[in-house]
A and B are shown apart, each in its own frame.
Chain A
Amino acid sequence: MNEPDLLAICTRILRDLLMDDRIVLTMNTRRPDVPNWDSFAYINFIVALENELGIKFNVAEVESFETVGDIVTGAMARLR
């Protein structure tokens, strides 16, 4: 799975979670850039992404992700 694939998955999950199809994620998107992507929705997003990909991030990683790019890179490292 490559970067665009993962970005597409992230976008779909976040659109579903926030029920907002206008959301477009890029590697540089940060949480505050997306309306309603609060800390609770963030955990839900991580839960959904982990479920979908069958991976588990470290607790420290989850705390350190700043951009969607960080999440995508982190996921790619675990899928490799």
Chain B
Amino acid sequence: MNGKSPATDFRERLKAALATRDDVARLTVLKSLSDLSPDYVQTIQLDKALSGIAVEAVEKQLLRVRVAVLSTGTTNHLLPGLRVAALRRGFFFDVFAGAFAQYRQELLDPASPLGSFAPEVVVLSLSARALIGALPIDADREHVEQILQTEVAEVRSLWDAARKRFGAVVLQQTYMDVFEPIFGSYDRIAPASPARVIDRLNDLIAQSARDDGVALIDAARACARDGVDAWFDRARWLQGKMEIAPQAAGHYGELIARVVAALRGRSRKCAVFDLDNTLWGGVLGDAGIEGLVLGEGSAAGEAYLELQRYARRLKERGVILAVCSKNDPILAEQAFSRHPEMVLKRSDIACFIANWKDKAENLRDIAQILNIGLESLVFIDDNPAERSRVREAFPMIAVPELPEDPAHYVHALADGGYFEAVSFTREDSARAASYAANAQRDALRSAAQSIDEFLRGLDMEVTYGPVGSLELERATQLINKTNQFNTSGRRYSAAEVAQLAADPDSVTLQFRLADRLGDSGLVSVMILRLSAAGVADLDIWVMSCRVFGRQLEDEAMNIAVEHVRSRGVETLSARFVPTARNGVICDLFRNLGFELMSGSSAEGEQLWRLSIAKYEERRNFIRRRSGQS
């Protein structure tokens, strides 16, 4: 290290960045500075520097999203933290700062300035202060419940307005309990006490958010974890009507940026673990399997166990696990199968790499084998040298700074918020198995004489149908999270998908793919709109990268053509909107027999057409589930 204090170092790097003429280079430095947990003043500085970057450079490197923060308090002090957290996650937020307590007018008044801003995301940052102030402390349970139901109904009408007026995604902040106790511990029992009211309110809000497809920003939990004094500053409330303390602005911005990233499919997908002194204590090559520090009996051994347990929970909710270790591969696998205290099993690990090669190279291989981007990886390693090597080689990989003491490993990993989710479906819990099955398929593919032989041997079966209520959540998740196989990049809320599914002028199709190695679940969705007489428009088509190269696109198109033909359609048109991530399907429509219409450009939106009469059914090795035609 250079011996300078972190603050001096930050100041110098920021100054050097500001002196850089090239906006793209300057933005790259600012993004790397955003990773250094900047303090309050540093965050304001970064934000100011960010505002000086030309739009073109911003759009080249970051995903722009218009975010409105509407509140019962003031919001200006929260914006630098919000924008810097967005920067950290590869986003640029254009922010609309709601005025003090104007959230209703801003959303409901057609003349409000929010109208011309046209938010894509609306954050409702509300306090229970007024509600609690108006509630007599002797109010009984029924009275309190009635007041709360009215409050929740009003909040839901605001969600509705944000969606109807702007088509915005709504993020509802949970209510923070920053109020002083009235009785003491008895508050937990008294129906009208602040603690009780807020608990019940958050319950109702969470249920409604689930029903209405609204995402939550759990400020209440963060406040409870960090302590009320960290999130609420009585002086700032009095001085500036700040419901959230300036010191919490960075953390608050993180909560929002994580959820927006999750909504846009930018959460990380895979946790890659080192082994020695990360998943267990000691060096396997020196200590042997019996010599590892792992399991009950010693505090350190239990600490490693805690990390394994946490990793297993992550796997159960759909995070892919991988191992990247400098070790003898046979010995490393043996430690998994033979050490009696191992919580993680070899079968929990979708990709297991133990060798003596450079870890950055190995991480690239892991991403390739799993068919995910490097930006989907989190690398967990106790060795600072390995961490900085990987950060340097691949800045897009998240590398949490692990504390020296393994007791705090889980906290360090969880604290990064890398795997934020906005829903949890059957497909999520089956994901790890599905990736493991994919690794098996890859082995079969290499062993097969030809690709045809491989595909025939898989014994694939497609199940399909319209998007019904059972498929709604997964279909919506797939539409909003899929970046690679995504023809138009359109986003739909669950309510909108349900509307389209019920619309007689639309056709929704969902496809599940299974083979002899496993069921991949619901992996593709199409939305077709029947427009002018005889024309159907393929509005969006998404497919999970888990089933790439299995000919599902061929059979899905066969099925889609049959569907629209039966509706009297003669021409199928499809839009392809190129993005930074969907290059993998740039030849999709050409390969399926579509013709490129004139006026389309390589960079801009392309319009493709298919004459249904001339469509040649695509040959493939997928059979349809019996009973389906």
A19:B239 contact, CB within 8 angstroms:
no
On chain B, the number of residues with a Cβ less than 8 Å from chain A's Cβ atoms is: 19
B246:A62 contact, CB within 8 angstroms:
no
- Does B141 sit at the interface, judged by CB under 8 A? no
User: Which of B42, B76, B239 interacts with A59 by CB under 8 Å?
Assistant: B239
Chain B contacts with A in 76-123, Cβ cutoff 8 A: 76-77
B45:A47 contact, CB within 8 angstroms:
no
Q: Provide the residues of chain B in CB contact with A48, threshold 8 Å.
A: 40-41
Q: Provide the residues of chain B in CB contact with A51, threshold 8 Å.
A: 39-40, 247
B76:A62 contact, CB within 8 angstroms:
no
A40:B239 contact, CB within 8 angstroms:
no
A19:B45 contact, CB within 8 angstroms:
yes
A47:B239 contact, CB within 8 angstroms:
no
Q: Tell me how far the C-beta of A56 lies from the nearest C-beta in chain B, rounded to whole angstroms.
A: 7
Chain B minimum-CB-distance residue to A13: B41
Q: With A59-B238, A62-B239 as given contacts, are A47 and B246 in contact (CB-CB < 8 Å)?
A: yes
B240:A43 contact, CB within 8 angstroms:
yes
User: Per-position contact with B for A3-44: 1 when CB-CB < 8 Å, else 0?
Assistant: 000000000010011010000000000000000000010011
Chain A minimum-CB-distance residue to B11: A16
Q: Tell me how far the C-beta of B9 lies from the nearest C-beta in chain A, rounded to whole angstroms.
A: 14
Q: Tell me how far the C-beta of B181 lies from the nearest C-beta in chain A, rounded to whole angstroms.
A: 22
Q: Tell me how far the C-beta of B234 lies from the nearest C-beta in chain A, rounded to whole angstroms.
A: 8
- Does B235 sit at the interface, judged by CB under 8 A? yes
User: Per-position contact with B for A48-70: 1 when CB-CB < 8 Å, else 0?
Assistant: 10010000110100110000000
Q: Tell me how far the C-beta of B82 lies from the nearest C-beta in chain A, rounded to whole angstroms.
A: 15
Q: Provide the residues of chain B in CB contact with A19, threshold 8 Å.
A: 18, 45, 48-49
A16:B40 contact, CB within 8 angstroms:
no
- Does B152 sit at the interface, judged by CB under 8 A? no
The CA-CA distance from A56 to B239 in the complex, in Å, is 13
User: Per-position contact with A for B239-267: 1 when CB-CB < 8 Å, else 0?
Assistant: 11000001100000000000000000000
Q: Provide the residues of chain B in CB contact with A43, threshold 8 Å.
A: 77, 236, 239-240, 246
Q: Which of B39, B44, B238 has the most CB of A within 10 A?
A: B44
Q: Provide the residues of chain B in CB contact with A47, threshold 8 Å.
A: 40, 236, 246-247
On chain A, the number of residues with a Cβ less than 8 Å from chain B's Cβ atoms is: 15
The CA-CA distance from A51 to B41 in the complex, in Å, is 10
Q: Provide the residues of chain B in CB contact with A40, threshold 8 Å.
A: 76-77
Q: Provide the residues of chain B in CB contact with A57, threshold 8 Å.
A: 235
Chain A minimum-CB-distance residue to B18: A19
Q: Provide the residues of chain A in CB contact with B240, threshold 8 Å.
A: 43
Q: Provide the residues of chain A in CB contact with B239, threshold 8 Å.
A: 43, 59, 62-63
The CA-CA distance from A40 to B246 in the complex, in Å, is 12
Q: Provide the residues of chain A in CB contact with B236, threshold 8 Å.
A: 43, 47
User: Per-position contact with A for B580-623: 1 when CB-CB < 8 Å, else 0?
Assistant: 00000000000000000000000000000000000000000000
Q: Tell me how far the C-beta of A59 lies from the nearest C-beta in chain B, rounded to whole angstroms.
A: 5
Q: Provide the residues of chain B in CB contact with A63, threshold 8 Å.
A: 239
Q: Provide the residues of chain B in CB contact with A62, threshold 8 Å.
A: 235, 239
Q: Tell me how far the C-beta of B95 lies from the nearest C-beta in chain A, rounded to whole angstroms.
A: 15
Q: Which of A47, A56, A59, A62 has the most CB of B within 10 A?
A: A47
Q: Provide the residues of chain A in CB contact with B48, threshold 8 Å.
A: 19
User: Per-position contact with A for B219-237: 1 when CB-CB < 8 Å, else 0?
Assistant: 0000000000000000110
The CA-CA distance from A59 to B77 in the complex, in Å, is 18
The CA-CA distance from A63 to B76 in the complex, in Å, is 19
Q: Tell me how far the C-beta of A19 lies from the nearest C-beta in chain B, rounded to whole angstroms.
A: 6
Q: Provide the residues of chain A in CB contact with B247, threshold 8 Å.
A: 47, 51
B246:A44 contact, CB within 8 angstroms:
yes
The CA-CA distance from A47 to B45 in the complex, in Å, is 15
Q: Provide the residues of chain A in CB contact with B238, threshold 8 Å.
A: 59
The CA-CA distance from A19 to B49 in the complex, in Å, is 9
User: Per-position contact with A for B32-53: 1 when CB-CB < 8 Å, else 0?
Assistant: 0000000111101100110000
Q: Provide the residues of chain B in CB contact with A56, threshold 8 Å.
A: 235
A17:B235 contact, CB within 8 angstroms:
no
Q: With A43-B236, A47-B246 as given contacts, are A17 and B41 in contact (CB-CB < 8 Å)?
A: yes
User: Per-position contact with A for B47-79: 1 when CB-CB < 8 Å, else 0?
Assistant: 011000000000000000000000000001100
The CA-CA distance from A13 to B41 in the complex, in Å, is 8
B44:A17 contact, CB within 8 angstroms:
yes
Q: Tell me how far the C-beta of A55 lies from the nearest C-beta in chain B, rounded to whole angstroms.
A: 12
The CA-CA distance from A75 to B459 in the complex, in Å, is 77
Chain A minimum-CB-distance residue to B74: A40
Chain B minimum-CB-distance residue to A62: B239
The CA-CA distance from A40 to B49 in the complex, in Å, is 18
The CA-CA distance from A59 to B236 in the complex, in Å, is 8
The CA-CA distance from A40 to B100 in the complex, in Å, is 14
The CA-CA distance from A57 to B44 in the complex, in Å, is 22
The CA-CA distance from A44 to B246 in the complex, in Å, is 8
11 contacts between A and B (CB under 8 A): A17-B44, A40-B76, A43-B236, A44-B44, A44-B246, A47-B247, A48-B40, A57-B235, A59-B235, A59-B238, A63-B239
Which B residues have a C-beta under 8 Å from some C-beta of A?
11, 18, 39-42, 44-45, 48-49, 76-77, 235-236, 238-240, 246-247
8 A-B pairs closest in CB distance: A47-B246, A48-B41, A59-B235, A16-B41, A59-B238, A19-B48, A43-B240, A17-B41
A-B contact sample (17 more), CB < 8 A, given A16-B41, A51-B247? A13-B41, A16-B11, A16-B45, A17-B41, A17-B44, A19-B45, A40-B77, A43-B77, A43-B246, A44-B77, A47-B236, A47-B247, A48-B41, A51-B40, A59-B235, A59-B238, A59-B239
